[in-house]
Structure 1
Amino acid sequence: MSQIGKELQPFKAQAYNSGNGEFIEITDEYLKGQWNIVCFYPADFSFVCPTELEDLQKQYATLKDLGVEVYSVSTDTHFVHKAWHDHSDAISTLEYIMIGDPSQTITRNFDVLDEEAGLAQRGTFIIDPDGVIQAAEINADGIGRDASTLVGKVKAAQYVRENPGEVCPANWEEGSETLKPSLDLVGKI
């Protein structure tokens, strides 16, 4: 079932704030009022996951400049996130919040729980300031994600939100031409 257009479901979880080294509580309400990227991954102390989270960190400053906060989520606890952050060269670079979801509530809410394994799938979600999911990507376990693609998706989502009646075509870049769907365009694209 698609998550696009759905509002965040209620949740409350403990998280490790990699930026300041503190534990904090995160709720669905905490995410409202700003753009967010929520990146689910299977497990701490694993193989593909640290490469993805480190890659996401490389885009973090650019995303922050766009008004986007980033959260990673796995079914590990916030304590395990801190231990991983303290002992991994890749994860020690992270500055964003790592949410623990041992109850699997958030992972189920986003429909990315591998029930058999009890782990999150590789799901990435862009959420608007109203708490509505605007983009989603889910990859098989062995396929790592490229965080650089998120910047363009966020810019497009923000543009469409700020310019009702316009849409961004494939390969759209900020400043390039958009489309205004109408009867005049039917059969001409």
Structure 2
Amino acid sequence: MSLINTAVKPFKAQAYKNGQFIEVTDASLKGKWSVVVFYPADFTFVCPTELEDLADHYAEFQKLGVEIYSVSTDTHFSHKAWHDTSDAIGKVKYTMLADPTGTITRNFDVMIEEEGLALRGTFVINPEGQIKLCEIHDNGIGRDASELLRKVKAAQYVASHPGEVCPAKWKEGEKTLKPSLDLVGKI
């Protein structure tokens, strides 16, 4: 069963953000757009390149009213140590969620049970707490924050313009489509 249009399941987790340990719950995701990005583990190889890319685009996401949450099955202590020792992760200003029990990772169906690690899962969640985008990658394939930013803008546009949809490669300000009988077979 797809997670699209389902509500985020309840969770409570410790996190590291801006030099502090904080608590984050499913309720923390409501009232604004959120991006939840799962990655396999701290102190690895592709993961820091992705989290740094998100950090480099974080201000753009914030301008759109979007909060970013990265999640791995590591502890919040491990997140702090990684943040303090890696130049790439040192750039991260968004929330780094700890999921050592795997509850959140399982809630989003990205747990690799035999390894206790997450797949590379990306989820865009609307202010009502519903999952609007779900993308899962093999762990050897890194993600691109600029493409995620484009998809967030498309999700926000569709949410605020009922009856319109965004075609492939749509960018902010470009023409959208209004599905109708008149369009059938004309595209």
TM over 0.5: yes
Gapped regions of structure 1 (runs ≥ 5) = none
Q: AA paired with 1:180?
A: K
Query: Offset of 1:3 from its aligned partner?
Result: 1.4
| 1:1-189 paired onto structure 2 within 5 Å | 1-17=1-17, 20-189=18-187
Deviations for 1:102-135, whole angstroms, at most 9, x for unmatched residues? 0101000000000110101000111100011111
- In structure 2, distance between residues paired with 1:177 and 1:51: 33
Give the CA deviation at 1:150: 1.1
Within 1, Cα distance between the matches of 2:46 and 2:164? 37
Q: CA deviation at 1:156?
A: 0.6
Aligned residues: 187
Q: For 1:145 and 1:175, how far apart are their aligned partners in 2?
A: 24
RMSD over equivalenced CA pairs, Å: 0.7
The separation in 1 between residues aligned to 2:143 and 2:28, in whole angstroms, is 25
User: Structure 2 CA distance, aligned partners of 1:124 and 1:110?
Assistant: 10
Q: TM-score, normalised by structure 1?
A: 0.97
Q: Normalising by structure 2, what TM-score?
A: 0.98
Q: Quote the Cα distance in structure 2 between the aligned partners of 1:155 and 1:87.
A: 33
State the one-letter code of the partner of 1:86.
Answer: D
Aligned-pair identity in percent equals 68
Whichever residue aligns with residue 24 of structure 1, its letter is: I
Deviations 1:128-147 (A, max 9, x none): 00011111111101111111
Question: Which digits, 9 at most, give the CA deviation of each residue in 1:39-68, with x for residues without a partner?
Answer: 000000111111110011111010000100
SS in 2 for 1:126: strand
SS in 2 for 1:135: strand
Is there any run of 5+ residues in structure 2 with no aligned partner, and where?
none
Moved >6 Å (runs of 4+) = none
